[in-house]
Amino acid sequence: MTAAIAPPEASRDDTVLDISGLVRHFTGPAGTVRAVDGVSLSIGRGEIVGLVGESGSGKSTVGRCAVRLDRPTAGSVTINGRDVTRLSKRALRPLRKDFHLVFQDPSSSLDPRMTVGAIVAQPLRLHRLASGDALRDRVATLLAQVGLRPELARRRPHELSGGQRQRVSIARALSVDPQLLVADEPTSALDVSVQASVLNLLVDLQRERHFGCLFITHDLAAVEYLADRIAVMYLGQLVEQAPAAELFADPKHPYTQALLSAAPVPNPAAQRSRARIVLSGELPSPLDPPGGCRFHTRCPLAVDRCRTEPPALRRLAEGGGRQVSCHLVADDGTAPDAAAPCPVTINRP
């Protein structure tokens, strides 16, 4: 398990989400899936943190635990200073308005029997925040804020387009003014032509309302555009975390370097300066993750130490508070280039 260190953000008093040492294992007939294995991450008010990594690396599991749709095996989740990890459903109910999840596929998260108006009104009713005319006005305002015409309130989800349905989910999630929104691939089920407008809507609403946002995605161009900070996951653990601009300009972890090298960039000159790193092999099974550094089986730079000793996620001496878990990255941030493997000096403690 990773010896994850608590980021300094965890001690800020504007922290809305603080995940500490999160572990989520699923035990079934085939064994124990170690979906998340020691993740620590925090999000401040008004901050968008992007969570990226290959399919199966554990991103959605982190997101589900963050909003208590799933319970961690170990570790804690604190929202607005309250540890929600072990609260009963009843104790959790009044706090639920502070955090919401926007799912990848709005069709599966919207009740097909309810009208759009009733769906958006539901959290306001549940938390007794509005009723009667005030409730109707609030729903109309919310629909307008997500760019939907008021008459759509009488329709049902199947009568809307995918983009409109996702706007309804966003209106529902934001109806009670949450402090934290977890958006799990909110545009990946949508037509490419409407993805940008839904993303822009999310960003506009976030800038206006200053909620903290955990944005889970495979879309590196989107995350570069909208996230303040990015955390990179590999096989259940965080391998790197840094301000978005710094991560994209200078990825330190060999896995981050490989991930970003595969992403299309809007500026072709930048693309040319970044050699493509093709990783060998598949993501190993989380049923039996490799010992030592979990990435060593695919890392073009791995040395003996990587095969035996798990690297801790440690803070580098950089202004932005970057964290990296790699034996080959020096404390001052000097990092080898996975695109040009060559003998490296191991930075032994």
Ligand X SMILES: Nc1ncnc2c1ncn2[C@@H]1O[C@H](COP(=O)(O)OP(=O)(O)OP(=O)(O)O)[C@@H](O)[C@H]1O
Contact 200, 226 (CB under 8 A): no
Cβ distance to ligand X smaller for residue 38 or 123: 38
Determine if 220 is a binding residue for ligand X (CB under 6 A): no
Joined tokens for residue 204: 């506009």
Cβ distance to ligand X smaller for residue 120 or 260: 260
Cβ distance to ligand X smaller for residue 38 or 58: 58
The CB-of-240 to ligand X minimum distance in angstroms stands at 16
Contact 341, 300 (CB under 8 A): yes
Separation between Cα atoms, residue 177 and residue 143, nearest integer Å: 14
Closest-CA residue to 54 (of 186, 177, 220): 220
The CB-of-264 to ligand X minimum distance in angstroms stands at 18
- The kind and range of the H/E element at 59 are helix 59-66
Residue 76 C-alpha from the chain's centroid: 17
Q: Which of 17, 19, 33, 213 binds ligand X (CB under 6 A)?
A: 33
Q: Which of 44, 58, 117, 336 binds ligand X (CB under 6 A)?
A: 58
Cβ distance to ligand X smaller for residue 33 or 226: 33
Q: Which of 56, 72, 157, 251 binds ligand X (CB under 6 A)?
A: 56
Separation between Cα atoms, residue 326 and residue 239, nearest integer Å: 7
Cβ distance to ligand X smaller for residue 64 or 327: 64
- What's the full length of the chain, in residues? 349
Separation between Cα atoms, residue 120 and residue 186, nearest integer Å: 17
Provide the 10 A C-beta neighbour count for residue 291. Answer: 12
Cβ distance to ligand X smaller for residue 163 or 286: 286
Q: Which of 59, 68, 229, 253 binds ligand X (CB under 6 A)?
A: 59
Cβ distance to ligand X smaller for residue 212 or 286: 286
DSSP string, 135-156: HHHHHHHHHHHTT--GGGGGS-
Pick out residues in 87-106 that bind ligand X (CB under 6 A): none
Sequence letter at residue 203: V
Q: Which of 13, 30, 55, 133 binds ligand X (CB under 6 A)?
A: 55
Residues 108-137 as x/- pattern, contact with ligand X by CB under 6 A: ------------------------------
Cβ distance to ligand X smaller for residue 7 or 56: 56
Determine if 57 is a binding residue for ligand X (CB under 6 A): yes
Determine if 306 is a binding residue for ligand X (CB under 6 A): no
Pick out residues in 269-288 that bind ligand X (CB under 6 A): 286
Which region, judged by CB under 6 A, interacts with ligand X, from 58-66, 87-95, 200-208, 328-336?
58-66
Cβ distance to ligand X smaller for residue 52 or 124: 52
Count of positions on this chain that bind ligand X (CB under 6 A)? 13
Contact 147, 201 (CB under 8 A): yes
Q: Which of 60, 166, 195, 325 binds ligand X (CB under 6 A)?
A: 60
Closest-CA residue to 216 (of 70, 78, 48, 80): 48
Residue ranges of E strands in 70-116 = 74-79, 82-83, 99-102
Determine if 230 is a binding residue for ligand X (CB under 6 A): no
Q: Which of 61, 85, 261, 297 binds ligand X (CB under 6 A)?
A: 61
Joined tokens for residue 26: 């699923």
Answer positive or negative: Cα dihedral of 253, 254, 255, 257: positive
Which residues contact ligand X by CB under 6 A?
26, 28, 33, 35, 53, 55-61, 286
